[in-house]
């Protein structure tokens, strides 16, 4: 302190005192707000601790008490009914699970398909030929002429050797080509699925079945099912189908009487396998849903491991995980019982067919209708076919799981986004003449995850081009929601949003968002270098532009002080950087974008005093001559805005400058908010 006004410690103390005063006023504001919410909620209505913008992971807010006043509007009620009707209409086409559709998706690999099918057909043909030769050899050993016996044995030995060589090349051709097809199909499916998911509206991610764990499972595990389905299952089906067809033909030619008896059992075998497949399919879907819940819990535990460690909650989380995984375990046990019973049925029917064949064949031999040679030939041919069908049937559980996975993947690929990004060349594009004037007219809005809780009820708001508008109001009033609507993360149920006089829906969405920058309370950094994270703000950004943006964001100094400078690895979610450093990198990314519209959602509320001061200075530089929308609780930030809008009960109740709103007096909503923050009348 003796160093005087220029001392670093004294500056930090001054900053800390200012921040402490603001924090105390903010705390009073939140406490009074919570009390007000509790006083105004209807009896029996639970208090929600979710923020109004909790559905978007890009805008995390501190848990605050949200309330919905008991006010009835005829228009709002009709909007809610309309929203519920739309919610029931999922706009998802019924997905075809035909093999034809899979082949269409794998059309670029048609040459591999032909070669793989040729190998599968060859492998299928070898099996009945081998069985036919086995039946013939069995009768050869009954020959009494030793010289003929030797020549026959020598001949069939060479035949078996030739079949072995042919089988080697046929299997190699079959599995090699189908494996390549499967790998390329998985790559294609993952790329298409991720590209499709990235086009979906934010509301789609709010639904429980579309959690991050479920989507990751579809991209990794379920997409791999396509490889298994193509590389293993499809090739085996082609092989078995051709093998069975050829075997039935051979057996009917050799001795149709015995062949008919053995073939009669095949529908029973197929029926038992099909029944098991239907049961396994429905159970696999339930098991997958339960598995996703466990994956979601595990994902959250890993992401929030610091909090879990700080509160020593490892045992509690583990117990929750064990409880969540109980469902998948029970489903797997049921699947095992059904699979085992189905396999038992098929084996029983196979054994019964063998017994009946020898009993009936013996009677035919005694009657002189067939010879032992023909009996053995038909028996070996059809027995090998039965074994192949049994092998195919044993994979019904895998086919059931694969069918459910393919259905979920196709459901994503077939879905049309409710907010479809325009393709290049379609829609209005932002030009240099655009100024960034924003207007919301008669907006009614509720989040898709909470359709019965209306956030806005006829909200009207105008933001002049090149000016700064501050949004104030109690937590849960919809301040951050306005930012989401301007970004068009959501569409209002009623009303319109205009930018420079044009409806936001008429703009090319990709182009429009390239002229809007968002800085939120918790900045989003990716696992990469600092340079890469800043460069996300502009395609093909030059080194000089990146450094200039970092300088304007007050980030260049701390970046240069690091060992690797701009090549410093940020870690997953920027975990290797402090909160202030992450925020300034996010600011540099926004500055590099050179946006027409700047959206700030509590950009400094989570920072310490020194970091807040640096970030605030960078923000003030960036907001010059740009249309800026600021969500903030701190009075120092609000006072500097050109205009202030007070949001209450889903509408703008007051709008004007800081001094003009205070001039309304004690009856004004803004006056009351300032009074809560400062703890005394603004005029004292």
Q: What is the DSSP string of 44-84?
A: TPPPB-S-TTTT-TTS------B-------HHHHHHHHHHH
Residue 105: CB atoms within 10 A of its CB come to 17
The DSSP symbol for 450 reads S
What's the rounded Cα separation, in Å, for the pair 619 and 677? 23
Residue 225: domain span: 99-414
Give pLDDT, residue 50.
Answer: 34
In terms of C-beta density within 10 A (0-12 exposed, 13-18 middle, 19 or more buried), how is residue 90 classed?
exposed
Please report whether residue 161 resides in a domain: yes
Instruction: Tell me which H or E stretch contains 6.
Output: none
Nearest CA-CA partner of 292 in 142, 404, 136: 404
User: What global pTM score does this model have?
Assistant: 0.62
The answer as to whether 61 is a domain residue is no
Q: Would you list the DSSP string of 362-416?
A: HHHHHTTSS-HHHHHHHHHHHHHHHHHHHHHHTTHHHHHHHHHHHHHHHHHHHPP
Which of 269, 157, 287, 138 lies closest to 222, judged by CA? 287
Provide the token pair at 191: 């790329």
Output the pLDDT for position 425. Answer: 61
pLDDT for 56 equals 37
| Residue range 348-375, pLDDT digits in tens | 877 887 888 889 988 998 998 888 888 8
Q: In the chain, which residues have pLDDT < 70?
A: 1-100, 103, 269-290, 386-387, 390-402, 422-425, 605-608, 611, 677-684
Residue 47 domain flag = no
DSSP state of 190: H
Cβ neighbour number for residue 664 with a 10 Å cutoff = 13
- Compute the distance between CA of residue 153 and CA of residue 445 in angstroms, rounded to an integer: 85
**Is the residue at 230 inside a domain?**
yes
SS3 at position 494: strand
CA neighbours closer than 13 Å in the CB half-sphere of residue 559: 27
Is residue 120 in a domain? yes
DSSP string, 614-681: HHHHHHHHHTTTSEEEEE---HHHHHTSSEEEEEETTEEEEEE-HHHHHTT-TTSHHHHHHHHHHSS-
Domain presence at residue 672? no
What whole-number distance in Å separates Cα of residue 407 and Cα of residue 422? 27
The answer to the question of residue 116 being in a domain is yes
pLDDT for position 438: 92
Task: Report angle CA 661, 664, 665 to the nearest 5 degrees.
Answer: 115
Which residues are CB-contacts of 140 (< 8 A; sequence separation ≥ 6)?
Answer: 149, 152, 153, 156
For 421, phi then psi, to 5°, come to -65, 135
Residue 597 CA to residue 486 CA, distance in Å, equals 10
The secondary structure of 462-486, three-state, reads EECCCCEEEEECCCCCCHHHHHHHH
User: Which sign does the torsion angle of CA 654, 657, 658, 659 carry?
Assistant: negative
Classify burial at 441, counting beta carbons within 10 Å of its beta carbon; exposed 0-12, middle 13-18, buried 19 or more.
middle
Angle, CA of 313, 317 and 320, to the nearest 5°: 145
Q: Can you give the pLDDT at residue 679? A: 58
Is residue 296 a part of any domain in this protein?
yes
CATH code of 152's domain:
1.20.1560.10
Count the domains in the chain: 1
- Determine the Cα–Cα distance for residues 490 and 481; give it in Å rounded to an integer: 9
User: At which residue do the structure tokens 């529908």 appear?
Assistant: 267
Number of residues assigned to the chain: 684
């Amino acid at each position: 302190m003796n160093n005087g006004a220029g001392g670093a410690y004294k500056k930090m103390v001054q900053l800390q005192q200012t921040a402490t005063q603001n924090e105390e006023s903010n705390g009073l504001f939140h406490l009074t707000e919570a009390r007000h919410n509790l006083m105004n909620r209807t009896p029996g209505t639970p208090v929600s601790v979710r923020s109004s913008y909790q559905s978007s992971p890009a805008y995390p807010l501190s848990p605050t008490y949200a309330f919905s006043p008991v006010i009835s509007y005829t228009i709002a009620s009709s909007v809610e009914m309309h929203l519920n009707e739309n919610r029931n209409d999922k706009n998802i086409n019924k997905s075809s699970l035909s093999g034809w559709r899979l082949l269409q998706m794998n059309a670029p690999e048609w040459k591999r398909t032909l070669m793989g099918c040729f190998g599968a057909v060859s492998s299928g043909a070898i099996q009945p030929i081998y069985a036919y030769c086995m039946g013939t050899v069995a009768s050869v050993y009954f020959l009494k002429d030793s010289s003929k016996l030797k020549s026959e044995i020598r001949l069939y030995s060479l035949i078996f050797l030739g079949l072995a060589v042919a089988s080697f090349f046929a299997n190699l051709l079959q599995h090699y080509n189908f494996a390549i097809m499967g790998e390329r199909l998985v790559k294609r499916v993952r790329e298409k699925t991720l590209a499709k998911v990235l086009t979906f509206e934010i509301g789609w991610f709010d639904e429980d079945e579309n959690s991050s764990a479920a989507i990751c499972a579809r991209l990794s595990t379920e997409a791999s099912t396509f490889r298994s389905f193509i590389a293993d299952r499809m090739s085996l089906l082609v092989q078995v189908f051709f093998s069975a067809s050829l075997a039935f033909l051979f057996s009917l030619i050799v001795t149709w009487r015995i062949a008919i008896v053995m073939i009669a059992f095949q529908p029973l075998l197929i029926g038992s396998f099909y029944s098991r497949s239907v049961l396994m399919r429905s159970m696999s879907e339930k098991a997958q849903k339960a598995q996703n819940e466990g994956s979601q819990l595990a994902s959250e535990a890993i992401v929030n491991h610091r909090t879990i460690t700080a509160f020593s909650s490892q045992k509690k989380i583990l117990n929750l995980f064990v409880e969540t995984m109980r469902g998948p375990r029970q489903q797997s046990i049921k699947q095992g019982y059904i699979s085992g019973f189905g396999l038992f049925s098929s084996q029983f029917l196979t054994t019964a067919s063998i017994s009946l064949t020898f009993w009936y064949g013996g009677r035919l031999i005694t009657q002189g209708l067939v010879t032992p040679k023909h009996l053995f030939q038909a028996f070996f041919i059809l027995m090998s076919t039965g074994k192949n069908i049994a092998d195919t049937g044993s994979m019904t559980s895998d086919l059931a799981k694969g069918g459910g996975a393919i259905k979920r993947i196709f459901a994503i690929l077939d879905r049309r986004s409710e907010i479809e990004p325009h393709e290049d060349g379609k829609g209005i594009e932002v030009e240099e003449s655009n100024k960034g004037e924003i207007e919301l007219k008669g907006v009614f809005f509720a989040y898709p995850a909470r359709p019965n809780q209306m956030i806005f009820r006829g909200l009207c708001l105008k933001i002049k081009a090149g000016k700064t508008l501050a949004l104030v109001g109690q937590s849960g009033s919809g301040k951050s929601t306005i930012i989401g609507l301007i970004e068009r993360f959501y569409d209002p149920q009623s009303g319109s949003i205009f930018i420079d006089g044009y409806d936001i829906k008429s703009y090319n969405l990709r182009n429009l968002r390239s002229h809007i920058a968002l800085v939120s309370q918790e900045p989003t950094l990716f696992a990469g270098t600092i340079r890469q994270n800043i460069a996300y703000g502009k395609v093909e950004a030059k080194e000089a532009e990146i450094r200039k943006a970092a300088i304007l964001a007050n980030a260049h100094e701390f970046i240069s002080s690091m060992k690797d400078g701009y090549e410093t690895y940020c870690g997953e979610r920027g975990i290797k950087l402090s909160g202030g450093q992450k925020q300034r990198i996010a600011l540099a990314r926004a500055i590099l974008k050179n946006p027409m519209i700047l959206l700030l959602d509590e950009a400094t509320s989570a920072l310490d005093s020194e970091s807040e001061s640096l970030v605030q200075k960078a923000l003030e530089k960036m907001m010059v001559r740009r249309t800026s929308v600021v969500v903030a609780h701190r009075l120092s930030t609000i006072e500097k805005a050109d205009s202030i809008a007070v949001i209450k009960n889903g509408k703008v109740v007051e709008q004007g400058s800081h001094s003009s709103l205070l001039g309304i007096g004690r009856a004004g909503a803004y006056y009351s908010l300032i009074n809560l923050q400062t703890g005394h009348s603004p005029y004292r």
